[in-house]
Amino acid sequence: MLVLGGCSTDSTDSEDSAGDAASASDPTAIVSPDVVEERLAAGATAIDVRTPEEVAAGALPGAITIDVQSADFDARVAELDPEASYVVYCRSGNRSAAAIERMVDLGFTDLVNGGGYDDLVAAGVGS
């Protein structure tokens, strides 16, 4: 059984550390916006898995957009380097978790769940 939590920007350092450790063992676990910022600064590529309509309202700078609900999601992801580092996000973290599970099945290994776009923007990620 997979249990997914919601996005939250209120956390303590110990919670951040626990969340970071969880992401190492479970790439579908949502990491803190600070971890997202660090990963992007280190060269990770952001992947926005929301619908085109959602993306039209805004996306992180430089993000690749691949709708996880589209029929060609697996084919489009297969064009990416499976050994590169990726931060996957959506609206709340649920679709990004599903996308990460599919990407792991395709051989991707360096993935984190950035959670929800609005929470990332509110935390200053990408600004």
Percent of the chain with pLDDT over 70: 81
Q: Looking at the domain assignment, is residue 14 inside a domain?
A: no
Give me the chain's average pLDDT, please. 86
Domain that holds residue 76: 45-127
Q: In the prediction, which pLDDT does 127 show?
A: 83
pLDDT tens digits, 59-116: 999 999 999 999 999 999 999 999 999 999 999 999 999 999 999 999 999 999 999 9
- Whether pLDDT at 2 is above 90: no
pTM of full prediction above 0.95: no
CATH code: domain of residue 124: 3.40.250.10
Structural domain count, the chain:
1
- Whether pLDDT at 121 is above 90: yes
Q: Looking at the domain assignment, is residue 8 inside a domain?
A: no
Residue 61: closest CA among 35, 29, 80, 89:
89
Q: Looking at the domain assignment, is residue 96 inside a domain?
A: yes
